Amino acid sequence: MSSFFDQLRRMEKPPLLEKYFEPDATVENMSLEKLRAFQLEALGMVVTRAFRRSEFYRAKLMAAQVVPEDIEELEDVSKLPFTTKDELRQDPWITLACFKDDIALVHVATGTTSGKEIYVPWTWQDFYLNELTPALPYLVDVRPGDICLNALPYEMSSSGLAFHKVFMSGCRATVIPAGKAGAYSTPEKTVRVMQDLKPTIIITTPSYSMALAEAAVSIGFDLGTLPLRRVWLTGEGCSFAFRERVERIWGTKANFYYGSLEGGGMGVECDHHRGYHIPMSHVLVEIVDPSTDRVLEPGEIGEIVVTCLLRWDTPLIRYRTQDLGYTDPDICTCGVALPRLFLRGRQVDQVKIGQVEFSPFYLEEFLMRLPEVGNWYEFVVPPGASTLKVRVEIAPGVEKSPGLAERLASQMEFSVGVPCAFELVESIRRPKSKTIRVVKE
């Protein structure tokens, strides 16, 4: 029997999505030529609607001397002006291309980059019909019968509710709205729920996966008894080495998902772990030089810029994420032809020691290869630092010895090539919000 959402899709799916996304088609098996044709048509629709209905975007386009008719090929996106975080902070309704009465949902940024809150309003059609129409069943391998423990924040943030929507309404799976360390969802209670309901899928942040694992140890629960098929990690970046620790602890494969409140889903990792596949059905991703604004070629590292192709009522055009990365157009070993995105951290979190700049993921990769180091750490980098200070908990079962800090510092220095110093502490605070790895004391 058809589901309620199937009926709604048949009744109300916009003509553009009907044209490109047949009921049985998936984005993963579509040709890149067809996807690029969709992107061009969708981009033209987004820009035209923004020009006609959004005072904010009309003013920006006129100032840049660009009109919708100038978008004749996909590369013409570079003619459009950028949208910045500071602009979105001006007014909660700044991007509206619809009546305010049409807004069904408003999400609020987590505030990890400081400054005034950023709000992202959604209409019902954009949030459900448009977002769920192009399917990614291979990359988002969640099926009817799966029990999904959603340990992401539901309060104000988009992450919990966004995956709730995808898993329940898009994949027809069962969802447990566990949340992330909220008023009711403590790690201990979440583990007890896992004991009772035995999820097959868990989605959470890298750091909270460790907090849940610690809670499981504290109540004597063996995570290996869960029938897990996969853990999804999102909301924070992490290194491959940290992910390997997660996989060992949870006894299953862990895949990354990349997105943001403003830009939505921008990358989905397959089981081959060779980068994030860009969902071309949902977003147009560019890499630009942060200094010159020049669009970079595949393989060149720059700022990730995203244009949402299915947000018609609250458009987002050429949004500067302040995340760094590069793209690779070569076909992945999994067979999916969607181009891949590789992250290199956030601009504001880059670690500068002397004249050398490091991605925190790069540093974490070497740090997590040291077996004596526990799962919680901070890079302490004051302005003008000439030494990388690493504050860490030691791994369970490791005894502190007089030379342990010096030995770890020496090994880390050999790996990264700059002076290092280790501070061994009993405990690092477990944050309820996003974990901050780089501390500029």
d(CA 161, CA 348): 27
HSE (CB half, 13 Å, CA atoms) of 200? 11
DSSP code of residue 26 = -
CA distance readout (Å), 192 to 118, 206, 340: 35, 20, 37
d(CA 380, CA 383): 10
pLDDT of residue 50: 98
Q: What are phi and psi of 104, to 5 degrees?
A: -105, -20
pLDDT of residue 346: 81
Residue type, 387: T
Would you state the structure tokens that stand for residue 212, as one six-digit string? 């849940």
d(CA 122, CA 141): 26
CA distance readout (Å), 304 to 19, 227, 281: 29, 36, 17
Considering the chain, what is the average pLDDT of its residues?
Answer: 93
pLDDT of residue 254: 98
Report yes or no on whether pTM surpasses 0.85.
yes
Cβ-contact 362, 379 below 8 angstroms: no
d(CA 159, CA 219): 28
pLDDT per residue, tens digit, the chain (441 aa), is 345 555 555 556 789 999 999 877 789 989 999 999 999 999 999 999 999 999 999 999 999 999 999 999 999 999 999 999 999 999 999 999 999 999 999 999 865 555 689 999 999 999 998 999 898 999 999 999 999 999 999 988 899 999 999 999 999 999 999 999 888 889 999 999 999 999 999 999 999 999 999 999 999 999 999 999 999 999 988 999 999 999 999 999 999 999 999 999 999 999 999 999 999 999 999 999 999 999 999 999 999 999 999 999 999 999 999 999 999 999 999 999 999 999 988 877 789 999 899 989 999 999 999 999 999 999 999 888 999 999 999 999 999 888 999 999 999 999 999 999 999 999 998 877 778 888 887
Q: How many CB atoms are located within 10 Å of the residue 354 CB?
A: 12
pLDDT in tens, 361-393: 999 999 999 999 999 999 999 888 999 999 999
Q: What are phi and psi of 355, to 5 degrees?
A: -105, 10
Q: How many CB atoms are located within 10 Å of the residue 380 CB?
A: 18
- Residue 121 forms beta bridges with which residues? 106
Helix axes 240-250, 206-218, angle to 10 degrees: 30
pLDDT of residue 344: 86
Cβ-contact 388, 419 below 8 angstroms: yes
Encode 7-22: b = buried (16+ Cβ within 10 Å), e = exposed.
Answer: ebbeeebeebbeebbe
Task: Show the DSSP H helices in 271-403 as ranges.
Answer: 360-367
| Rg, the chain, Cα only | 22
pLDDT in tens, 7-63: 555 556 789 999 999 877 789 989 999 999 999 999 999 999 999 999 999 999 999
Cβ-contact 162, 232 below 8 angstroms: no
Residue with tokens 């590069």: 326
DSSP code of residue 160 = H
HSE (CB half, 13 Å, CA atoms) of 2? 9
Residue type, 277: H
Would you state the structure tokens that stand for residue 176, as one six-digit string? 């447990």
Each as own residue / partner, the long-range contacts of residues 350-355 (CB below 8 Å, 24 or more positions apart, any chain) are: 350/324, 351/379, 351/381, 351/388, 351/438, 352/381, 352/385, 353/381, 353/385, 353/386, 353/387, 353/388, 353/418, 353/419, 354/385, 354/386, 354/418
pLDDT of residue 1: 37
